[in-house]
Amino acid sequence: MALGDTTRLSLLSRLCEGRPLSISQLTEGTRLTRQGVTKHLAILERAHIVAKRRVGRESQYSVRPESLSEASDYLSRASRQWDQAIARLERLLEE
């Protein structure tokens, strides 16, 4: 679950401000290493939540707005799984 991590959610929120940011820029403001941030960005990219674009020597990341609805779907599916666990439990309770 790419969005189950608060670090990634906060990186995503930085990107949601609009302008693309490089890895180093995204690293500022976190207590992580550049490599740590890189890994999280790779995960977000694999999930098609974020896009990478090489500009000169920088890797600029930007959010893919069209993907946010998918992300939202993903999260609500996750939420629904818990709802189902509750439902199962409540069925058990009735028996």
Partner DNA sequence: CATTTGCGCAACCTCCTGGTTGCGTGTGAG
Partner DNA sequence: CTCACACGCAACCAGGAGGTTGCGCAAATG
The residue ranges that bind a second copy (CB under 8 A) are 3-4, 9, 12-13, 16-17, 65, 68-69, 71-72, 75-76, 78-79, 82-83, 85-86, 88-90, 92-93, 95
Inter-CA distances, 15 with 34, 43, 81, 86, 89, Å: 16, 15, 28, 35, 39
The kind and range of the H/E element at 55 are strand 50-55
Amino acid at 10: S
Which of DNA, a second copy, none has residue 88 at its interface (CB below 5 to 8 Å by kind)?
A: a second copy
Binding site for DNA (CB under 7 A): 4-5, 7, 22-25, 27, 31-36, 38-40, 43, 52, 54, 56-60
